[in-house]
Amino acid sequence: MHSHTKLFRIIVAAVLLVVAVLIVHNIELPVWQQLLIFLVPYLVAGYDVLGEALEGIMEREPFNENLLMSIATLGALFIGFLPGAATEFPEAVFVMLFFQVGELFEHYAEDRSRKSIAELMDIRPDVAHVEREGGVQTVEPTSVSVGEIIEVRPGERVPMDGCILEGETTLDTVALTGESVPHMAHLGDSIISGSVNLTGVLKVRVEKTFGESTASKIIDLVENAGEHKSKSETFIARFAKVYTPIVVYVAIALALLPPLFAENFATAFPVWLNRALTFLVVSCPCALVISIPLTFFGGIGGASRRGILIKGSNYMDALSKVDTVVFDKTGTLTRGVFKVTAIHPEQCDEEQLLHLAAHVERFSTHPIAVSLREAYSHEQDGCTVEQVEEVSGQGVRAVVNGKMVCVGNTKMMEQLQVRFHPCELVGTIVHVAVEGEYFGHIVISDEMKSDAREAVAALKAAGVRRTVMLTGDRREVGEDVAKQLGLDEVHTELLPAEKVERVEALLEAKADGQSLIFVGDGMNDAPVLARADVGMAMGGLGSDAAIEAADVVIMDDKPSKVALAIALARRTVGIAMQNAWFAIGVKVLVLFLAAFGVATMWMAVFADVGVMVLAVLNAMRALKS
C-alpha cells in the first residue's frame, strides 16, 4: 500500500476516534452501541492488519506482529462485555493507530517507487541507420532484421550485435564490460550493441535481432534480478516471530489455569480472562513498533547527510551484518580516467619524450592521445608536424621538425625492427622511436582513487572477512590493482553475466545470517547490484541504471564511504537494539504486575507511552551521523 493512502487512513481514523470519544462521553449508551461507534475508526485504521493476521493463520505462519496487534486490540474492544470489567474502546483504537504510524515510518523510506529501469538505461540505442532501397533510412532498432546492413557513425551507440563489413574504428565498451581502454575494431571483427563508436564510420551486418542483442540482454538481467533478492526481514518482523507466540501462550495460560484451581470456576474465569486480556493489551509493543522504524528512519536521514543514500531499513539491517564486500574496478576503486603515470626516456629527457609523443598524437581523438596531450600542455611551441598517419592497430607516425617519429605499441616497434624495452609497470605502454632509433616509452594507466587503499583497510578494520574485486579489465591490470590495495581476491576479464555468476558463488560461500555488498558504478554493474544482498552504486559518475538498481548510493564516488555506511548502519541497529531491550524490560515488569491484577489499563498505557517517548528520544540520536 502506498504511504499517502496509509497516512490518509491514519488521519481519518484519528478524527473518527475523537468523534467517538465525544459521543460516548456525552451520551449514555449501552456497551454494544459504544462498540459499534468505536469499530468504525478501529476498522478504518486496522482492516489490513486484521486481514494479514488472518492470512498468516491460513498459511500456518500465524505468529507475526499483525496477529499480536489483532489479538491485543480485539481483546481491548471486547473486554468490556465481561462481568465487572471496564470498557477499553479508545485504548484499542489508539493502539492500532500507533501501530499504523510505526508502519508508515517503516514504509516511507522504501516507498519512493523505482521507475522502470529501462527508461534510465543510457545503453539502449534509440535509432539505427539501415541501408534500404538504395539509401540509408533512420529507423527504430526493433524493426531491423538479421542480415541487414546498418551504418554506425562516430559518437553513436551500436544498436545491435553484428560483424564489420567496412571501416575501422576505436570502440568504447566501458559501459558493457568495464574494460577501461577503448579498443580497435577492424574489418571482419564482431561488434556488440551498447558500445560507442568513437572514430570511424562503420558498415555492420546485423547478426542478432534487437531483442537478442547484448544491450537488451543486460537490461533484461537487471529487470529480473530483483526477483532473486533476499530481502533481510525487517527487525520488527523477526522480533515478533519470537515475542508473539510467548505472549499469546502466556495469556491463554493466564486465562485458563488459575480458574481451574479456583474454588468456583464460573466466578474466577471472568476475573482471570480480564487479566489475560489486560496482559495482552499491555504486551502490545507500541514503543518498539514506533521507535524502531523511527531509529532506522533517523539512521537513513543521518547517512544521507553524509552523502550516502540508503533506500530502505532492510538494507540498513543487512549493511550492519556484512561478511563479504565485492568491488568493481573501473570507476569504483580507480577513477576510470587515463593519465600518464610514468615516463621512461632512453636517448632524451622526460620532457622531450612527452613532447614528441604529444605532437604526433596531436589530431587523434583516442583517449590515449588525449591523455598524452593533457600531460604535455605546451602544444604551441613552434614545432612543425607534417604527414601525420594513423597505422591501424599499431599507432601513429608523423614528421616532427623534419624527423620521422613513430608512437605506438609493441607491434609498431617490431614492424620498424626497433629494439625496445618492455616495462615492468602495468598499464598501456606507448613506445616512441625517432628515425628508427628507440627513444623510450610512456606508461598510461587508470588512476587509483585517492582513498581506495584506505577504504579497503577500513573494511578490514571493521571486521569484513572477505574483500573481492571483479573486473572486465585485463588480468595483469586487475591483479596489479588488487595487490596495491591489499584485496583478498580478484577475478578479471569478466563479462556482465559472468560477474553475476561470481557473485552467486560468493553468496553461496558467505557465512549464515551475514550479507554480501557489491560496490560498482557502471552500466555493466546493474545486474550484479540488483543480485547482491546490498548493491552499492557510486552516484557521482555512475550511470543512471546502476543508481536505479542499487540499494545504497554513494553520492561523491568515494570508496571510503563504504566503511562509513557500514559503521552508520551498525550504530543505527545498535540504537534499535537498545530501544528493544529497554522496552521489553519495562514491558516484562508491567506484565508481571498485570498478571497479578496490580496493573490497571491506564498504568499499562502510561508505561507504554512513557517508554515510547524515551525510546523515540533515543531513536533521534540516529539522526546525528
Active-site annotation, residues: 328
Cβ atoms of 128 and 140 closer than 8 Å: yes
Amino acid 145 reads S
Cβ atoms of 90 and 97 closer than 8 Å: no
Question: Quick one: which of 225, 99, 203, 139 has its CA closest to 497?
Answer: 225
Residue 110, CA distances (Å) to 1, 96, 296, 381 in order = 12, 22, 11, 59
What is the distance between the alpha carbons of residues 330 and 177, in angstroms, rounded to a whole number?
A: 10
Which cell numbers hold the place of 437? 632509433
Instruction: Count CB-CB contacts under 10 A for residue 584.
Output: 17
Question: Quick one: which of 38, 62, 49 has its CA closest to 99?
Answer: 49
The number of helix segments (H) and strand segments (E) in the chain equals: 21, 22
* Residue at grid coordinates 469499530: 39
What is the distance between the alpha carbons of residues 70 and 366, in angstroms, rounded to a whole number?
A: 67
Residue 83, CA distances (Å) to 139, 270, 378, 521 in order = 81, 7, 98, 67
What is the distance between the alpha carbons of residues 214 and 604, in angstroms, rounded to a whole number?
A: 62
Residue 242, CA distances (Å) to 38, 168, 236 in order = 31, 66, 10
Question: Quick one: which of 591, 604, 615, 514 has its CA closest to 276?
Answer: 591
Question: Quick one: which of 279, 284, 253 has its CA closest to 594?
Answer: 279
What is the distance between the alpha carbons of residues 20 and 35, in angstroms, rounded to a whole number?
A: 10
Residue 19, CA distances (Å) to 13, 41, 91, 277 in order = 10, 9, 14, 26
What is the distance between the alpha carbons of residues 566 and 536, in angstroms, rounded to a whole number?
A: 11
Amino acid 393 reads G
Task: Give one DSSP letter per residue of 79-115, joined into a string.
Answer: GGGSTTPPP-HHHHHHHHHHHHHHHHHHHHTT-SPPP
Q: Is 134 left (phi over 0), alpha (psi -120 to 50) or beta?
A: left
Cβ atoms of 176 and 218 closer than 8 Å: yes
Question: Quick one: which of 566, 598, 597 has its CA closest to 460?
Answer: 566
Alpha-helical regions (H) of 391-495? 410-416, 452-461, 475-485
What is the distance between the alpha carbons of residues 130 and 138, in angstroms, rounded to a whole number?
A: 6
SS3 471: coil
* Residue at grid coordinates 481491548: 76
310-329: b (≥16 Cβ within 10 Å) or e: bbbbbbbbbbbbbbbbbbbb
Q: What does DSSP say about strands 190-191 and 128-132: parallel, antiparallel, or unpaired?
A: unpaired
